[in-house]
Amino acid sequence: MKRALLFAVLLLPFAPPAFGRMPELNPEKICKARETTAKILRSVPMQSHEDCVHDEENAKQQLGSLWEKSPASVRRLCESDARALGTLSYLDLLTCVQTAEDIKSSPKKETAKQ
């Protein structure tokens, strides 16, 4: 019994979000990381910290309505791709889910037979 509990606790950090819930991210930290990256690359941030946080909060609201409606496979793909690239943000997740929806709803082109 103790082994099973220990095993479950050790796997918790690697488990996907429970029941398909949207990841809980911190827009302040996301934007601070973007600023730090810009400094490291000696470039100018693309937007102010306030605008970045505002955009992340808006993306979070939009994503909230789409996340649970999206297939689990799309949610897993979007989240794992963003984590692998080190770019996990609400904007990235929203763009990924919207792109998947656009691809799914676009009509398939017929190929001409020759």
Average model confidence (pLDDT) across the chain: 80
In a domain, 110, yes or no: no
Q: Bigger pLDDT: 99 or 105?
A: 99
Our count of domains for the chain comes to 1
Instruction: Check pLDDT > 80 for residue 18.
Output: no
In a domain, 93, yes or no: yes
Instruction: Check pLDDT > 80 for residue 110.
Output: no
In a domain, 17, yes or no: no
CA 58 to chain CA centroid, nearest Å? 14
Percentage of the chain exceeding pLDDT 70: 76
Q: Is pTM, for the whole model, over 0.75?
A: no
- Residues spanned by the domain of 40: 23-103
Instruction: Check pLDDT > 90 for residue 95.
Output: yes
Task: Say how far apart CA 29 and CA 33 lie, in whole Å.
Answer: 6
Instruction: Check pLDDT > 80 for residue 7.
Output: no
In a domain, 60, yes or no: yes
In a domain, 114, yes or no: no
In a domain, 75, yes or no: yes
In a domain, 13, yes or no: no
In a domain, 86, yes or no: yes
DSSP type of residue 86: T
